[in-house]
Amino acid sequence: MSGGADPTLLAQYAYVLGELEKRAKAGKRLAFVHLVEPRVTNPFMTEGEGEYNDGTNDFAYSIWKGVIIRAGNLALHPEVARELVANDRTLLGYGRFFIANPDLVERLAKGLPLNKYNRDTFYAMTQEGYLDYPTYEEALKLGWDKQ
């Protein structure tokens, strides 16, 4: 939500969520709303760069009564992810680190290090960058823990 840099954006998002909730009450509820946390100030930056930590999308729950998917540097902040899923209407979304870690769920659950991703290969029409990332066990066999 743009890092909270523009306070009028919050009003706009609240309005949109309110309109979606009105639609839902009329029997046309969407399956979910997907929000990127305000800590992501620029989707083209590497995770963690330019983070804004003074905002949250928690306000959305008071307006939208359905499921909310929340994303935004959560692989770097597992403590935040644990807090977010305490709400049973919350699902978490992972993007770049999901692509680079075929065993992401296990790595996050066990606190294992994550593969770095190669952003230059995203959305290319080849298998490079999608099917060639190792699992944690495969990375160990390749000696990645020795580097």
pLDDT score at 64: 97
CA neighbor of 59 nearest in space, from 18, 28, 30, 95: 18
Strand 33-36 to 90-93 pairing: unpaired
Find, among 27, 92, 16, the residue nearest to 60 by Cα: 16
Rounded to an integer, the average pLDDT of 102-116 is 91
pLDDT for the residue numbered 1: 58
Answering whether pTM is above 0.75, one says yes
Alpha-carbon distance of 3 to 39, in angstroms, equals 6
For 35-64, the pLDDT digits (tens) are 988 777 776 777 677 777 777 889 999 999
Nearest by Cα to 33 from 57, 69, 61: 69
| Average pLDDT of the residues of the chain | 87
3 has a pLDDT exceeding 60: no
Cα separation, 98 vs 89, whole angstroms: 21
Give pLDDT, residue 5.
Answer: 62
pLDDT at residue 4 is higher than 70:
no
Tell me what the mean pLDDT of segment 71-82 comes to. 86
Angstrom CA distances, 35 to 57, 70, 88, 126, stand at 8, 5, 16, 29
Q: Are 132 and 99 in contact (CB under 8 A)?
A: no
Question: So where are the chain's domains?
Answer: 1-93, 96-147
Q: Contact 74/107 with Cβ under 8 angstroms? A: no
Residue of 100 and 43 predicted with greater confidence: 100
Distance CA(51)–CA(109), nearest Å, equals 24
Task: Assess whether pLDDT exceeds 70 at residue 146.
Answer: no
